[in-house]
Structure 1
Amino acid sequence: MSRKRGSQWAVNKGIAEAVLRDRGQRRSALGGFAFGMLGMLALGLWGIDDWLNESILRFGLYWGACGLLCLFVLLFALFDALATLKEERERQ
């Protein structure tokens, strides 16, 4: 049985809404992304640094991806802080 493309989109959208609305799931996802970002940073600094230094393109792509992941984590943390403030204001 084949799935429709729209149904997969609806499932992904539902999962994203559930994660973004629940504070515990949001913090868990944020921690996972932050751990992944730190792992990527450590890998680039100590694990594959010689391999990255062989090519300027490889170096730029890897650290560019690491930078984008850092930006994503920062924006997700900002979203979490603002969502938490909103939730606490609504409780009062």
Structure 2
Amino acid sequence: MLSIFITPIVVSKLEAYMTSACLERTGAKTISIDEAAAWLGISRNGAYEAAKRGEIPTIKIGRLLKVPVVPFERMLGLSVSTSAEAA
């Protein structure tokens, strides 16, 4: 069984790579399971298992499984900025 423990060090490293400003530039609203796995520092299979257990927020579009960025950022405790907050 895989458990995900996110330490403050991991969160600070993630903040350096995954910021709302960066995601806004690309316009990404979702990321792949592979990208989520890379950000969490876990294997692809581990990420799919965590998603199956509901530990990683996902949406399913046909056979495609995507991770919505805003809930993923909230799960990690990262600051989430939306266009409504910026206005």
TM-score by length of 2: 0.31
TM-score by length of 1: 0.30
Higher gyration radius (CA): 1
Name the structure with the higher helix share. Answer: 1
Name the structure with the higher strand share. Answer: 2
